[in-house]
């Protein structure tokens, strides 16, 4: 099982099925405004600066945003 924990408060955000016990980091709903404030820039600008493709998903796995690299990759 993969335990996704908030990188700010360490609250468990969710679990994902897996053969291995692992911990992945995410951000909980309560800490997301803190993360955005610390970035000092709009979230989309931050995501677009990342070279790796990044998808932002909700709990139900619905994609709500993608950075420039992901948009480029998915447009192929």
Q: Does 24 engage in binding with Zn ion (CB under 5 A)?
A: no
Minimum CB distance to Zn ion smaller for 37 or for 76? 37
What is the SS3 string spanning the chain? CEEEEECCCCCEEEEECCCCCEEEEECCCCCHHHHHHHHCCCHHHHHHHCCCCCEEECCCCCEEEECHHHHHHHCC
Please tell me whether residue 5 binds Zn ion under the rule CB under 5 A: no
In the stretch 29-58, what mask flags binding to Zn ion with x, by CB under 5 A?
--x---------------------------
Q: Which is nearer to Zn ion, 11 or 14 (CB)?
A: 11
């Amino acid at each position: 099982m993969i335990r996704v924990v908030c990188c700010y408060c360490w609250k468990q955000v969710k679990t994902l099925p897996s053969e291995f016990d692992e911990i992945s980091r995410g951000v909980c709903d309560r800490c997301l405004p803190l993360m955005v404030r610390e970035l000092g820039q709009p979230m989309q600008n931050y995501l677009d600066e990342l070279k790796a493709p990044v998808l932002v998903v909700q709990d139900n796995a619905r994609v709500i945003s993608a950075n420039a690299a992901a948009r480029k990759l998915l447009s192929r």
